[in-house]
Structure formats: structure tokens, C-alpha cells
Structure 1
Amino acid sequence: MIAPVVEGHGEERALQSLLHRLIPHLREGAYAHIQPPYRLPRDRMLKSEPLAQALTVVAARQPQPTAVLVLLDADDDCAVDLAAQVHALAHASHAHVPLTAVVAVREFEAWFLAGAAGLAGHMGLPTDLTPPPHPESIRGAKEWLSKRMPAGIAYSPPAHQPSFATRFDLDAARDAAPSFDKLCRELLRLLNYPAL
């Protein structure tokens, strides 16, 4: 029973389907109930009081979650430092809540770039779409996707993220995007947590 906390509208819709797809991919037969994500903008996620309020809300849900997954983008910051910051803030107010923070290097869409072969031909993307080298080094993954969309259509997280999350190549993304591999490892760890 995983309760996600996310920063964006796109992830709010996309993360549930991604996790439902990813968990059995990581471990055959594995299942987790994914509760609707709680959206908390990034600037508030990095402050003690708003994060504590969000954790109070999700920890009180019924059925009670066994773990909380906080997902945010690094943008230009260090993903490791941001994850540590979220952990420290969460521990200060909710030390009893099993929680992990996963920070997508640059942005969530970097994972789509890493697994771009799975998006080939989808929603007007080229049928020969291939991932760029070092997808997590690209500042502007959304723009990279927009340039490959049909003329007159720009990539929009709320419009495209949920669909792309069901199609991108998970294995390729795990190989090419260390922060996506981190998500995979943390999910496997959370699956073994006892109830809160």
C-alpha cells in the first residue's frame, strides 16, 4: 500500500499507472496498491511544515499506507542532496512513517528519453525514435520531446505524461537513467516494509 507524494500535475496522473506497470515488471507476481498521489509543489515539498502536513494527510488514509514515496525533479540541483533533504524533513516530523524520496535527475521526462524506443510511433512520435546519449544530462527533456512531436503539437506533461508512462522502455530507462534505477531499487525495498 504505497502513498505517493508528487510535485506536478503530470506525475499526479502518470505515477499510478507507471507503478502498476513497474512493480510486476521488477518482480514477477508482485503487487502493490497505489493510492492516488498527493500533489505538493516542489518549493513546498522542501519546507518542513508543508511536507509534514502532506505526510499527516497521506499517513491517515484508509486503508493505511505501508510506505510513502516522494517523487520530485532535481532540475539543476543535486538529486542526492535533495533526496537527503526530503528524508531529513520527513524524519523530523514523521519518523514512524516508512518513506523514500526519489529525485529524477533533471526531470521526470528524462526517464522517457532513456526509454524512448518504447515511445516510437506513439502519439505522432517518429517510428525510428531512439534515445539520446546520456538522457539525464539533457536540460530540457520536455523540449526534446516537443521537437519530435508532430508539427504544431508541443509536449504537455498533463496531456502526454500518463500515456508515455505506460509505453516507455522500462529496461532501457533503468540502464540509461540512474535515477530511474533508484526508483526501481526503492520500490523493491518498499515492497518488504511492514504496515505503519
Structure 2
Amino acid sequence: MVSPPVIASIVEGHGEERALLGLLQRLVPHLVPGAYADVQRPHRVPRDRMLKRDPLAQALTVVMARNPRPTSVLVLLDADDDCAVELARQLRGHAQETHGHVALVAVAAVREFEAWFLAGADGLAGVAGLPRDLVPPSAPEAIRGAKEWLSHRMPRGTTYQETAHQPSFAKRFDLDAARSGAPSFDKFCREIEFLLTGKRDARP
């Protein structure tokens, strides 16, 4: 019997530390019907350390020492005002220098993780007090302040809180709409498909 893939992950924020596990568990069978992966608890490393070779190497050593041993590692962070493609390339380069034997993918969410929620906002209608007629913005990854966009649409006196809302929103946002509206989420999905199937999409 072929063992299922074991996916470890490294994230930068407390919200992603809780949200990514649920998102991956939801996404795996959505992307590859019938697929199963052992999705391990994310390991958190602050962004400023993650972007340095040695702290990233330490994090990779930690997650690769787990039992069962991961078959691959996903590194996820927010691009903020930086170029998402360059950040991902930098992370892969650092990892290659110290852990070239590890199957690793790196994805930077354009602007921030919450931009993916904006792109898939149809699935969040009515959640946490958001309007039942919630409409996604036309260019979610161009918005500076996706968290604020969500807060402005919540009931008066309520604001979006990363650790409180990110895990539940990750289980509800519209995956297909997010993939169409947020290119960095489409990239994220293609990288997860690669970890599951071993087949690489030629697009950057």
C-alpha cells in the first residue's frame, strides 16, 4: 500500500498557524477528488526570521524531525508590499542551500492571506455578521488592507480579528471563486496539487 503524502508547513502568523491546517484539509480533496494527505500542524516562524537562511533552516530541521517524517514542506507568508514571486524565489533559494533534499514549495499571498477571503467572499456571506449579500471586490489582491475591508462590513463595534476569524473563514470562503479572483491563491492551489500528484504546472 502506498503511504499518503505527509505535508508539513511553515507560516509567519498566529492566524495562519490555526487556519492553514483547516484550509489544507479542505483543499486536498477539493483539488484532487478522493485524495488524502496527512496534514501536520503548521510551524510558526516570524516573517523577519523566515526570510533569513539560518532561521529558515532551523525551522526546516524541526519539521523534518517529526514522526511521521514529512514528504514535503509548504512555506507560506504574506507578500505585503514586496513582490510575491521574488519572496517565494528567495525562500526556495535559502532552503535549497541547507535542505536541498527536502521537497519544498513556497507561496507568498499577494498583499495578505485575507486577500484570498475577499476573492472568495461569496462563501463568507452571513458569516460572523457579514452581509448576506456580500459581494467580492473586483481586484482583491490590489486592495491594501483586506482585514479592514472585512471589518468595515461587519456589525458596528466588531472588527476582523486574525486569530479569531481566520480559521473559521478559511473553512468557508469560496475556493473556486478565490482561485479565479486571486492569482496567488491559484498559485497556492497549483503547488498543493504538485505535492499531491508530483505533476508540476508549467505556469509561474
TM-score, with length taken from structure 1: 0.97
CA distance, structure 1, for counterparts of residue 94 and residue 48 of structure 2: 13
CA distance, structure 2, for counterparts of residue 9 and residue 57 of structure 1: 18
In the TM superposition, 1:155-174 aligns within 5 A as 155-174=160-179
For residue 144 of structure 1, the aligned residue among 130, 149, 171 is: 149
Q: CA deviation at 1:192?
A: 3.0
In the TM superposition, 1:50-69 aligns within 5 A as 50-69=55-74
Task: Name the structure 1 match of 2:130.
Answer: 125
Q: Partner of 2:136: helix, strand, or coil? A: coil
CA distance, structure 2, for counterparts of residue 23 and residue 137 of structure 1: 27
Q: Is 1:40 aligned to residue 45 of structure 2?
A: yes
CA distance, structure 2, for counterparts of residue 27 and residue 81 of structure 1: 28
Runs of 4+ off more than 3 Å: none
CA distance, structure 1, for counterparts of residue 101 and residue 144 of structure 2: 36
Letter paired with 1:191: L
CA distance, structure 2, for counterparts of residue 159 and residue 31 of structure 1: 27
Q: CA deviation at 1:186?
A: 0.4
For residue 158 of structure 2, the aligned residue among 148, 153, 161 is: 153
Unaligned runs of 5+ in 1: none
CA distance, structure 2, for counterparts of residue 134 and residue 92 of structure 1: 36
Letter paired with 1:173: A
CA distance, structure 2, for counterparts of residue 20 and residue 31 of structure 1: 8
Q: Is 1:113 aligned to residue 118 of structure 2?
A: yes
**Alignment RMSD:** 0.6
Q: Is 1:92 aligned to residue 92 of structure 2?
A: no
The number of equivalent residue pairs is 193
CA distance, structure 1, for counterparts of residue 33 and residue 103 of structure 2: 23
Percent of matched pairs sharing the same residue: 70
For residue 184 of structure 2, the aligned residue among 148, 170, 179 is: 179
CA distance, structure 2, for counterparts of residue 44 and residue 129 of structure 1: 37
CA distance, structure 2, for counterparts of residue 149 and residue 179 of structure 1: 25
CA distance, structure 1, for counterparts of residue 187 and residue 180 of structure 2: 11
Residues 24-73 of structure 1 show CA distances to partners (whole Å, capped at 9, x for unaligned) of 01111011111000000111000011000000000111000000000000
Q: CA deviation at 1:182?
A: 0.5
Task: Name the structure 2 match of 1:8.
Answer: 13
Letter paired with 2:42: P
Q: Partner of 1:56: helix, strand, or coil? A: helix
Task: Name the structure 2 match of 1:28.
Answer: 33
